[in-house]
Amino acid sequence: MRVRSLALTTDLGLAATHGIVIDRGDYIVVSTPDNPTFYYGNYLALPAAPQVGEVTYWTRRFSEELGKNPEIRHVTLCWDGTSGEVGARDELVAAGFKVELHQAMTATTVAAPAIPLEIRALAPQELRLTADLAFAIGDDHSDHYRQFLTRQASWRKALVERGLGTFWGAFDRDGQTSGQLVGSLGIVPLGRLARYQDVQTATSHRKRGIASALLATAAASPHGAELVVIVAEPNSAASRVYERAGFRFAEHVGSACLRRRAT
């Protein structure tokens, strides 16, 4: 399947670093065997948004491709395109899907003022700290979510160990010898593109320029890409931070997820 979207292109590139990507010709199957509860790590990528009458077909196709794993209790459909078309929105919603619209933003250079915190690349053994930070700032404090984050941290660790990406952290020492991780993100080179991952800042340290400083530091590091890509919700606080750092809107992209479906 020929893919036009920068967001989907980089999503598939990321998936290939820790999962399985199979091109069926008219759609693509993405699976992450070691993290079956990852909604956007186990999905079908479609050539376009589902149209009226197609939602049942693609749901069945998902079940045939990925539903044999009892831990996969969701259905996620992502689709190619740059205008954010959602196709059969009413049909998707009626079937229980949550339809999401995001925007991809790109930059060739990223700039931000310096901040009085230590910013450095994270060693493989420190990637567990990114999971701790995500759990602390998230709304979900279930064991299920903690397990998901732990699996994600394991992927990041393997990615760094294999030299396929770098994760950066901002540390506030505040009298501590090692310092507290208060912000982090990753950047993964994928040929001429590089994709940012998992930008996060501790609630106590927001609006201090930490995310911008991390973005700029990662962009300035050697990665060999011509263009850096990041994905955010439209008109969100995050997208405004990215715009101030030098990112510009590139495309709208859509997806739909039916979570925790009955077995």
Residues 96 and 12 in one domain: yes
Tokens of 2: 């020929």
Residues 123 and 206 in one domain: yes
Q: How many separate domains does the chain show?
A: 2
Q: Considering the domain boundaries, does residue 247 fall inside one?
A: no
Q: Considering the domain boundaries, does residue 18 fall inside one?
A: yes
Nearest CA to 16 out of 240, 192, 189 is that of 189
Q: 133-186, pLDDT tens digit by residue?
A: 999 999 999 999 999 999 999 999 999 999 999 999 999 987 565 689 999 999
Mean pLDDT of 240-263: 90
Average pLDDT, the chain: 95
Domain membership of residue 76 as a residue range: 6-101+253-258
The predicted model scores a pTM of 0.93
More confident call, 1 vs 178: 1
Q: Which of 13-17, 119-123, 258-262 has the lowest mean pLDDT?
A: 258-262
Pairing of strands 166-172, 248-258: unpaired
Q: What local confidence, expressed as pLDDT, does residue 179 receive?
A: 87
Rg (CA), the chain: 18
Residues 131 and 218 in one domain: yes
Residues 57 and 137 in one domain: no
How deeply is 85 buried, as exposed, middle or buried, from its count of CB atoms within 10 A (0-12, 13-18, 19+)?
middle
Q: What local confidence, expressed as pLDDT, does residue 222 receive?
A: 85
Judged against a pLDDT cut of 70, whether residue 16 lies above it is answered with yes
Q: Considering the domain boundaries, does residue 54 fall inside one?
A: yes
The CATH number for 155's domain is 3.40.630.30
Residues 128 and 90 in one domain: no
Judged against a pLDDT cut of 90, whether residue 74 lies above it is answered with yes
From residue 20, alpha-carbon distances to 2, 29, 198 in Å are 18, 8, 21
Residues 88 and 174 in one domain: no
Q: Considering the domain boundaries, does residue 235 fall inside one?
A: no
Judged against a pLDDT cut of 50, whether residue 221 lies above it is answered with yes
Burial 53-65 (b: 16+ CB within 10 A, else e): ebbeebbebbeeb
Residues 125 and 69 in one domain: no
Q: What local confidence, expressed as pLDDT, does residue 176 receive?
A: 62
